[in-house]
Amino acid sequence: MTDRDVRVVKTKYDGSLHWHHVMRFLGEDEHGIWLGALAGSTSQRGDEPPIVMNHPYVQLIRDGAWWSATFRGDPATTEIYCDVGTPPQWPHPAEVTMVDLDLDVLRIRADQRVIVVDEDEFAVHQVRYGYPADVIGAAERAAAWLLDAISAEAEPFGAAYRGWLDMVE
């Protein structure tokens, strides 16, 4: 791994702190920027106590994408976890930020099912936070695209992530 830490910060649409953690910059390829975390690293939701991740994982940050993808090693039950959110912003090389828009697309390790979750939360937050129509449309398109791409194992959801995950396993 390289010597550069990157703080990953996700907020809700009103700017309140959501999930945040520090990862290592692994590198960049045609899919985007790859960050990694060893098993035993921590992640924190808002100001709640940090939780210890029992699995290694890598996160793909893709400029302009309305999603970020996390690829999890064993023993995680969810192999791929994609957050639908606003395109990432890099205020500086040691921090990336994005707004979490509730929808998530997952691939379950045991049976390889691909599912969309938190549609109810997305509906509630459209009203609570006043998501504009263009944000709602972009989030729905991103979730539909992710569902298709992950189901088809299109890259980076096929094998491309495995080499990056090997770096932290």
Domains, the chain, in order of start with CATH, read 5-166 (2.40.380.10)
**SS3 state of residue 133:** helix
Q: Which pLDDT band holds residue 2 (cuts at 50, 70, 90)?
A: low
Q: Where are the beta strands (DSSP E) in the chain?
A: 5-11, 17-29, 32-37, 42-45, 51-52, 57-61, 67-72, 78-85, 89-92, 95-108, 114-117
Residue 1 pLDDT > 80 = no
The predicted model gives 45-67 an average pLDDT of 97
The predicted model gives 161-165 an average pLDDT of 97
Q: Which pLDDT band holds residue 95 (cuts at 50, 70, 90)?
A: very high
pLDDT tens track for 105-156: 999 999 999 999 999 999 999 999 999 999 999 999 999 999 999 999 999 9
Instruction: Give the span between the Cα atoms of 30 and 62, in whole angstroms.
Output: 9
> What's the pLDDT score for residue 3?
75
End-to-end C-alpha distance for the chain, whole angstroms: 11
Q: Considering only CA atoms, which of 100, 57, 61, 64 is closest in space to residue 78? A: 57
Q: What is the pTM of this model?
A: 0.95
